[in-house]
Amino acid sequence: MYSLRLARQSNMRILVVEDDLVVQALLAKILREDGYAVDAAAEGDEGLFKAQSWDYDAIVLDVMLPRLSGWELLAKLREHKKTPVLMLTARDATTDRVRGLDSGADDYVVKPFNKLELLARLRALIRRTANHAQPRIEIGDITIDTAARTVTRSGKPVVLTAREYAIVEYLAMHRGKIVTRTMLYEHKGVGSNN
């Protein structure tokens, strides 16, 4: 199974924007060992140039960068591109997480990070992006709008909590497949207490 995953990811390209060269080298090593091609940048302006010049499957982005902060890089990137962004930063306040996600980040991981969790979140991020070329999922009379995060049945809105929506979306994306409790729990938003 590992070799199959490696073969699938070998053509996937990740950009790591991290000014701490030790952390940058560690991230690049972890990602390469998992089969990704990795580019890196140590400054925000260099990261933005690379992110705008090439197509990446995902970007791992620090917040505190020289010359252009991660926040600024993300804002400028979102003007032109929808590349999935995983923010990886030591800034762990709830306000920072909310700011990152509301600014267009697709996920937010706090340092120090767990290698396996980081890889799983990155895979999930890339999967979700690949599966959402069409923002609507229709199953019978039920429509799930993944961009607006809403569900309707026969054209009428279905009121769901954030957790309920995450479960419905995940099950719809994996219809016809076996979904375990662990898979649901690990899916972004489903296992959270918020």
Domain boundaries, given as residue ranges, for the chain: 2-131, 136-186
Question: Model pTM?
Answer: 0.63
CATH class of 136-186: mainly alpha
- Specify the range with the lowest mean pLDDT, choosing from 35-44, 77-86, 87-96: 87-96
Rounded Cα gap, residues 26 and 130, in angstroms: 26
C-alpha torsion sign, points 170, 171, 177, 183:
positive
Superfamily of domain 2-131: Response regulator (3.40.50.2300)
Long-range contacts, 37-41 (Cβ 8 Å, 24+): 37/10, 37/11, 37/12, 37/13, 38/13, 38/14, 39/13, 39/14, 39/15, 40/15, 40/16, 41/15, 41/16, 41/17
Q: What is the pLDDT of residue 187?
A: 59
40 pLDDT tier (thresholds 50, 70, 90): very high
Q: Using one digit for the tens of pLDDT, what is the confidence trace for 121-172?
A: 898 888 877 654 456 778 889 988 766 678 999 989 999 887 788 788 778 8
